Amino acid sequence: MTFFRSPFFRPITFHKSSTAKGELRAHKALLVLYYFHILSILINPE
């Protein structure tokens, strides 16, 4: 599980920044992608 060390999972420290919403949206998209990726591996291991 090395992807937890990626920069995408760094804490968001700029909540008041104008890019915070876009950053949060990107984080959610990445989390969803990782979730489905791991889920597909668990369901159909090859």
- Nearest Cα to Cα of residue 16 among 24, 8, 27: 24
28 within some domain? yes
7 within some domain? no
For residue range 6-15, what is the model confidence (pLDDT) as tens digits?
A: 555 555 554 4
> How many domains in the chain?
1
Please say if the pLDDT value at position 25 is more than 70: yes
27 within some domain? yes
- The verdict on pTM exceeding 0.75 is no
CB 15 within 8 A of CB 34: no
CB 23 within 8 A of CB 29: no
Which pair of structure tokens corresponds to residue 17? Answer: 């920044």
Residue type for 11, please? P
Residue, of 29 and 17, whose pLDDT is higher: 29
Residue 27: give the domain boundaries: 19-46
